[in-house]
Amino acid sequence: MRAVRLRGVYRPQADTHLLAEAMRRAGMPRNARVLDLCTGTGVLAVIAARAGAARVTAVDVSRRAALSAWINARVSRAPVRVLAGDLFAPVGEDVFDLILANPPYVPGLRRPVRRGRARSWDGGPYGRAILDRVCAEAGPRLAPGGSLLMVHSALCGEAETLCALRAAGLDASVVARRREPFGPVLRSRAAMLEDRADQAGGARGGAGGRPCRTMRRDGGSSWSRAAPY
């Protein structure tokens, strides 16, 4: 899908496609209420609407991203409600059958960036600033049987995500992985990441993508996953 993208808004790329593919494989539940967190251009929200979701909500903290998503939904004639704001804050008490999230997850800078293009990818020191919030806050936003599909880089720690999801009362597993070469941002941080891995005794690897699957403990299924930059 070709998407309108205002200046500074994240261009849909490998992680977007990996998440779209995971959604396609999981199948759209009947009458699904879908939330696309960190929507960017809104392509995942539009794909969810086209896949038969009954109601789609798209949220982004960036007003330019929210406007891009709104334009793309209108152009595609997809019934998507677009809200600007921080993660779950704009949706109040609503619950969802499927939550999609491709949050900023590139590890690097000391504090998460609050402005500009880098807000699309910078996830704070270990890439987990937004990821951990999604893990902690998603549970109560899932309807019984609901699912979370989330993508992030293996560099952020797949085990940490699984632990965080389980600690929040979800059953979690990886549902897909894909290896991707480092993009320009990660290449520019490679030396720093390598030093960090050396200090932690870790091995150097590519930015392999890793989806995980999460299940609500009440028996419903949900999915979460992780990918690359």
Report the DSSP beta bridge partners of residue 174.
212
Q: Where are the beta strands (DSSP E) in the chain?
A: 33-37, 55-60, 80-84, 96-101, 142-150, 170-174, 212-216, 221-223
Task: Please identify, among the stretches 48-56, 113-121, 140-148, 208-216, the one whose residues bind ligand SAM according to the rule CB under 6 A.
Answer: 113-121
Which of 104, 124, 209, 211 touches ligand SAM by CB under 6 A? 104
* Cβ 147 to ligand SAM shortest distance, Å: 17
Task: Say how far apart CA 156 and CA 54 lie, in whole Å.
Answer: 33
3-state secondary structure of 81: strand
Using CB under 6 A as the binding rule, whether residue 16 contacts ligand SAM is answered as yes
| Residue with the CB atom nearest ligand SAM in the bound state | 40
Q: Which of 22, 2, 27 is nearest to 12 (CA)?
A: 2
* Cβ 15 to ligand SAM shortest distance, Å: 6
Contacts to ligand SAM from residues 118-177, by CB under 6 A: 119-121, 130
Which of 2, 74, 75, 86 touches ligand SAM by CB under 6 A? 86
* Cβ 218 to ligand SAM shortest distance, Å: 27
Using CB under 6 A as the binding rule, whether residue 10 contacts ligand SAM is answered as yes
| DSSP assigned state of 222 | E
* Cβ 201 to ligand SAM shortest distance, Å: 29
Using CB under 6 A as the binding rule, whether residue 96 contacts ligand SAM is answered as no
* Cβ 196 to ligand SAM shortest distance, Å: 21
Task: Please identify, among the stretches 53-61, 141-149, 164-172, 189-197, the one whose residues bind ligand SAM according to the rule CB under 6 A.
Answer: 53-61
Nearer to ligand SAM, 89 or 190 (CB): 89
Edge-to-edge, what's the strand order for the sheet holding 142-150?
80-84, 55-60, 33-37, 96-101, 142-150
Distance (Å) of CA 196 to CA 39, 123, 153, 190, 202 = 30, 16, 16, 10, 8
Distance (Å) of CA 139 to CA 40, 102, 182 = 23, 17, 32
Helix axes 43-50, 63-75, angle to 10 degrees: 30
Which of 22, 28, 40, 161 touches ligand SAM by CB under 6 A? 40
